[in-house]
Homo-oligomer: A and B are copies of this chain.
Amino acid sequence: MSMSAPPLQRRPATIKDVARELDISVATVSRAMSKPHLLRPATVARVREAVERLGYRPNLVAQNLKLGSTRIIYVVVPAMSLFFFDVFRGIERAALEQGYSVVAAHTGRDPVREGEYFDQVACGRADGVLLVSSARLETRPPHQHQYPPTVSVLEVDEGREFPSVRVDHVAAAAMATNHLIELGHRRIAHISGNALAPMAEHRRRGFLQAMAAAGLSTEYCVPGEFSPEAGQAAMEILLARAVRPTAVFASSDEIAVGAIRAIKAAGLSVPGDISVMGYEDQRLSRIYDPQISTVHIPTFDLGYQAMTKLRRILAREPYEHDVLLPTHIVVRATTAAPKQA
């Protein structure tokens, strides 16, 4: 095992080094960097040359301290999934356009880590937070946090009520359920998502409301998690019932994938024997074979608009507290009328 000696790290040049080199004041160097119009062009040129030669770059930490702002936004996401990163892309685009940098901070659905990120920002590490989904109220640690400027994305944050840009998951889930009802299904199952995710609860609520409104039984509503494995396991339980459901509304596309796998494994067909409806309209739902019927969530726009709103908040401009974006159903190859309709 060949060990390298650590390479010696040169102390980075500071503004003083440049000033001393040219025998001018640090103020002049600072101005040459950020307000060159205040200086004689010849001076700016001399400074530029010395900066280049010494390899000077302004220290951002010092700059941030003096100016009291970082132009950094923390994007707090519960999990590394493509669904959340579609939102992230929208945020990134808006941030780029508005001169902010974004960094992804990932909590693994751990409320403690979520709090740590809030604290970091409250301590000046960044100017604001975009909270993409978040932990359930009751799982949050009692520690008193100070909240930096924050916008909730995807759903409201119960209890803290940050300004938000979101969709109505209850209504969207009801829409998905109604799609199955309108196809003629009566015994409709629901496999819900991660118990810690408020979004999962909202989707479940939408399902229950739609079923109740149609006078149908909700006995096929089972718990799950946002993964194909959990979807498969939940579907296996549903298939073991004496009377099987003829349709399933899964709380996410990933769950739908697992459910389809279980149905096929039981020798049944989709949608011939059982229809499957997903949620989120992830890329997976288009890639999968068969392509999955699902509910489209405008992830990119949610991110884009949330970042824009956060910028307004930071600039102390007026803004709308709660913004709702529309969703719609995408019918693909996994939903059809029941056989014995």
Give the B-binding residues of A (Cβ under 8 A): 1-6, 9, 12, 52, 55, 57-62, 64-65, 70, 74, 80-82, 85, 88-89, 92, 101, 103-106, 119-120, 122-125, 144, 146, 149, 163, 228, 254, 257-258, 260-261, 264, 283-284, 287-289, 313, 316-321
Contact = CB atoms under 8 A, between A and B. Distances in A.
B70 A318 contact: no
A92 B106 contact: yes
Contact of A120 (B89, B101, B319): B101
Given A2-B321, A89-B80, A287-B228, A146 B57 contact: yes
Contact of A62 (B4, B124, B283): B124
Contacts of A106: 88, 92, 104
B64 A61 contact: yes
Contacts of A319: 3-4, 6
A276 to B, nearest CB: 13
Nearest to A321: B4
Contacts of A105: 103
A89 B107 CA distance: 11
Contacts of A5: 318
A60 B125 contact: yes
Contacts of A261: 287, 289
Contacts of A284: 284
A146 B318 contact: no
Given A3-B318, A4-B319, A254-B287, 14 more contacts: A1-B320, A4-B318, A6-B313, A6-B318, A6-B319, A12-B122, A12-B124, A52-B144, A57-B119, A59-B123, A82-B82, A88-B106, A104-B104, A257-B287
A317 B6 CA distance: 7
Contact of A146 (B3, B55, B260, B317): B55
A106 to B, nearest CB: 7
Which of A9, A80, A320 gathers the greatest number of chain B CB atoms within 10 Å? Answer: A80
Contact of A61 (B124, B146, B313, B317): B124
A57 B62 CA distance: 19
In the A-B complex, the 7 residue pairs with the closest CB atoms: A103-B103, A104-B104, A80-B85, A3-B318, A60-B123, A61-B124, A4-B321
A81 B82 CA distance: 7
A4 B320 contact: yes
Nearest to A77: B104
